[in-house]
Amino acid sequence: MGDHFFSAEPTSADVRRTVEARIWDKPYVFTTATGVFSRDRLDIGTSVLLRSVEPPSGAGTFLDLGCGYGPIACALAVEAPAAKVWAVDVNNRALELTRLNASAAGVSGRVRAALPEDVPADVRFDQIWSNPAIHIGKPELHKMLLQWLSRLTPDGVAWFVVGKNLGGDSLQRWLTAQGYPCHRTASAKGFRVLRATTTRSA
């Protein structure tokens, strides 16, 4: 079986290239590689998410869940200079690229790229941002989301982008049923942008 972008150690040759993107009206040049998600461009779902949600500006601890080569993590750190950003992925090549891209964006001191198991258990997140890996299957997806949503601060918020044809509407209902009130805040190009909170902050 060939590599998936959620493979821990891609076996494909590490062929790199750069892609340009504009996020929150700032230009970026990201290094990408084979074996990571959307290596040829900033993917449409992530673009929809970042165009639909205003950037954070204050302090806090943020999580980019399933960071890939790190475009969300880098942009969060640039927009919120007082924030700390965790960039989490199971793909070690993606984490290496995130560190490289954070350095290029001048935010390497505030972006921590890590495997899920390397995030200390006591870290809590004020915001979670994610274009989640739907293709890992519903049981694993649900397990992953509950694991990280349980680490939201009482007033925390999570932003997700999910394709409508990949279950965006059913995921919205499921999140609400799990105690994380979830609302659709935007729809574009076949994607749903979802905002989930803890019950306290709903």
In a domain, 158, yes or no: yes
In a domain, 3, yes or no: no
Contact 73, 97 (CB under 8 A): no
pTM comes to 0.90
Q: How many CA atoms lie within 13 A of 47 on its CB side?
A: 11
Q: Which residue has the higher pLDDT, 157 or 1?
A: 157
In a domain, 2, yes or no: no
Count of domains forming the chain: 1
Residue appearing with tokens 């306290």:
200
In a domain, 139, yes or no: yes
Q: Which residue has the higher pLDDT, 29 or 201?
A: 29
CATH number of the structural domain spanning residue 161: 3.40.50.150
Residue appearing with tokens 């972008």:
5
Query: Tens digit of pLDDT for each residue in 6-23?
Result: 544 555 666 688 999 999
Domain ranges, residue 153: 44-197
In a domain, 32, yes or no: no
Cα 52 to Cα 39: distance, rounded to the nearest angstrom = 22
In a domain, 14, yes or no: no
Query: Tens digit of pLDDT for each residue in 85-130?
Result: 999 999 999 999 999 999 999 999 999 999 999 999 999 999 999 9
pLDDT of 9 reads 56
In a domain, 149, yes or no: yes
In a domain, 165, yes or no: yes
